[in-house]
Structure 1
Amino acid sequence: MTAMTALSPWPHRWAVLLCVLTFPLVFVGALVTSTDAGMAVPDWPGTYGYNLFLYPWTTWLFGPWDLFIEHGHRLLASLVGLVAIVTLVVCVRTRAPRAVVWLAVGALVLVIAQGVLGGMRVVLGDRPLAMAHGCLGPLFFAWTALLWVRSSTGWARAAEPGTYRLARWTAAACGVTYVQLCLGAFLRHVPGDPSPRAFGHAVLTHVTLAVVIVGLVGLVWLLSRRAPSKGLRQIATAMAWVAAAQFTLGLGSWAARYALPGWVQAAAPTMTGSVGAAAALGWTQSLVLTAHVAGGALLLALSAAAALIAWRDAKDGH
């Protein structure tokens, strides 16, 4: 029996579970921000003096919405943290490849850091901490995607000769997407009285990067058509679909958050709202904003996975 076939499938199974659970965690976290429920529970790590897991479930389920979503976010985060611990233990006990073990270690470190950032944001009421929390969440999700791909028992066997050109463009798409996500976190957590000039530059940069990302993802998709790796082609196709959906959701988020652009209002004076004046958010607007954040995290995770596969194949081809 070779070392390849002797690898246990359990690290990969737990890695998949960790990644799958992290996506709804990102979505719920974004919903907490979209509905302004982040400070619904004033203490941490407990909930109104109770142990997190012993808080009365009737009060949680039938209480105010902001309490329901914030406490639920904490419970889901705790579950993800527990799965991260189990994943690392399984990787160590089954003697998974060293790279997989270190990815599992990184996942645990990131989820702990994310939990501490979220807790300190509540305790200190600090917006910069909220921004950092919003930046680290998608990074953790992308990391779990890397763990998913790398822990596959067929990782080395699936290697196909590739090119560094595709690998570089895929990595570029991943990097720019993360910068875009961090800028989005800044815009979502910006103080109530930002400098109009600085805020305007941030919005313009965000819009510009959206166009750049669509172009990069399109290029990755085109280059991947000739890639021998079926998995890479499939991920690149998924990236293209998500990027298209993200661009559409971005337009919807703009309309939800800042109403209609000035040139539209000039053409139709009866329409209300203006750029820079945040519109009151209802359920539809909140869900659009939340989906936009979650979609960005999904695009980052896909591009990270694609970059990992592309670099593996490029090294195999040289």
Structure 2
Amino acid sequence: MDSAALVNLEPLARMALLGCVIALGPLAWVWARTRSGDGRGRLRALTVLTLFLTFDLVLFGAFTRLTDSGLGCPDWPGCYGSASPLGARDEIQAAQSVLPTGPVTHGKAWVEMVHRYLATAVGVLITVMTLLSWQQWRRDGRGSSEAPTRVSPWWATVTLLWVCVQGAFGAFTVTLKLYPAIVTAHLLGGLALLALLAAQAWRPAADRVVGVSSALRRSLVIVSLLAVLQIALGAWVSTNYAVLACSDFPTCQGRWWPTMDFEHGFAVLRPLGVGKDGAWLPFAALTAIHMTHRLGALLLLGGLAWLVWRLAREPALRRYAAGLVGVAAWQVVTGVSNVVLDWPLLAAVAHTGGAAALVLLLTALLLRTTSARPVAASSRATAPLVARRAS
């Protein structure tokens, strides 16, 4: 398609209607499960289900990217101006006859459009969730002290705004032809959406929040930031197809420190496969991207080991420590498998799933913990005097 037809809003209404139809199934399930409960229970059930489906959407987005289906339909939001590949059979066939392996084929077009349908359905669920949140807030007396709202409706509102941003990133992914910075931002945005939903679905009651030392809380925040950085590096590896720059482990190209070009590899504002100077991206740049992700993994694993050791000393948080150990092991196995097994699809999708699970675990820990307030020095100093006066 020519550049003037990259955005064709003609099928937008039909796409939205199809998203509503798909969302009816989860909504009907939630209403059936909570028909005898109150509004809070229904809202919580819908939030948890939306979180689960968003996790699945992140995995399917990884599948779409890893099967090179991101341009299976080269316009947005439909496929050659149609709401499904069925209406674009002739255009897809013409493109496939020119390039039989893609980027446009019948199979890739369906993968891409199913991803868009699922994303639209998740957007519908989040819209309903936002409406229910504000409705519950009004029922509770607009957050009055007599009936405090457990989760502010602004959380759901921000989530709805963010899913709209994600939709824009999805559109730019297509119209800018898999621009690496946009694709990376799209993946990070999906994980941020998971964290927002988890913050609403899993927010514990006040009596279940665990007070921890300030040092442990700082460690948790630092490890969370390291995890975000490492996931961003992993997304940069995937979007630049730098996984196969190293086909051995623990060395790369038979060397501990191969030739690397960081200047071109980490030039953010450039098209796919293009270096900083506009020429083809050097292989040494792909090596630099890959090796930086490996070094980041070592740093993150060290941080996780420290955090697990500290969490294991807190009885109420030991299961989180076990979960972090499991996710770290999963990521090591799937990450190494991507290298030595020539980037198999299953391992690559599983690696993205592990990153999403790590985000959820760290979000849950941030929700469940708070810095314990130490007794003020002045209070300790005056306590004996107060005791003597009382006697």
Equivalent in 233, 237, 242 of residue 187 of structure 1: 237
Find the aligned partners of 1:237 and 1:189 in 2 and give their Cα distance.
31
1:129 corresponds to 2:182: yes
Report if the CA contact (8 A) 1:142-1:301 is conserved: yes
Q: Which amino acid aligns with 2:166?
A: Q
Give the match for residue 367 of structure 2: 308
Report if the CA contact (8 A) 2:210-2:368 is conserved: no
Find the aligned partners of 1:168 and 1:7 in 2 and give their Cα distance.
36
Aligned length: 275
Report if the CA contact (8 A) 1:180-1:210 is conserved: yes
Q: Which amino acid aligns with 1:236?
A: A
1:145 corresponds to 2:198: yes
Deviation string 1:158-206 (CA, Å, 9 cap, x unpaired) is 1233222222222222111111111111111223342444433322221
Give the match for residue 114 of structure 2: 72
Percentage of matched positions with identical amino acids: 27
Report if the CA contact (8 A) 1:160-1:317 is conserved: no
- 1:1-318, aligned counterparts within 5 Å? 8-51=40-83, 56=86, 64-95=106-137, 97=149, 100-127=152-179, 128-150=181-203, 152=204, 155-190=205-240, 191-192=272-273, 193-229=280-316, 232-257=317-342, 285-311=344-370, 314-315=371-372
Find the aligned partners of 1:74 and 1:214 in 2 and give their Cα distance.
34
Find the aligned partners of 2:321 and 2:120 in 1 and give their Cα distance.
32
Report if the CA contact (8 A) 2:208-2:368 is conserved: no
Find the aligned partners of 2:374 and 2:133 in 1 and give their Cα distance.
29
Greater share of helix:
1
CA RMSD of aligned residues (A): 2.6
Find the aligned partners of 1:66 and 1:30 in 2 and give their Cα distance.
13
Shift of 1:111: 1.3
Report if the CA contact (8 A) 1:167-1:310 is conserved: yes
TM-score (norm 1): 0.78
Partner SS for 2:212: coil
Where relative contact order (Cα < 8 A, 6+ residues apart) is larger, the structure is: 1
Find the aligned partners of 1:87 and 1:234 in 2 and give their Cα distance.
30
Deviation string 1:125-174 (CA, Å, 9 cap, x unpaired) is 24132222122122222222222222x5xx21312332222222222221
Find the aligned partners of 2:222 and 2:171 in 1 and give their Cα distance.
33
Shift of 1:292: 0.8
Find the aligned partners of 2:151 and 2:108 in 1 and give their Cα distance.
40
Find the aligned partners of 2:206 and 2:374 in 1 and give their Cα distance.
13
Report if the CA contact (8 A) 2:78-2:113 is conserved: no
Shift of 1:237: 1.9
Find the aligned partners of 2:374 and 2:359 in 1 and give their Cα distance.
25
Structure 2 gap ranges (5+): 1-37, 90-104, 138-147, 241-271, 274-279, 376-391
Shift of 1:56: 4.8
TM-score (norm 2): 0.64
Name the larger-Rg structure.
Answer: 2
Q: Which amino acid aligns with 1:244?
A: A
Report if the CA contact (8 A) 1:214-1:244 is conserved: no
Shift of 1:34: 0.8
Q: 1:233 to 1:112 in 2, by over 3 A?
A: farther
What stretches of structure 1 move > 4 A for 4+ residues in a row?
315-318
Q: 1:7 to 1:42 in 2, by over 3 A?
A: closer
Find the aligned partners of 2:58 and 2:119 in 1 and give their Cα distance.
9
Shift of 1:71: 1.2
Report if the CA contact (8 A) 1:145-1:302 is conserved: no
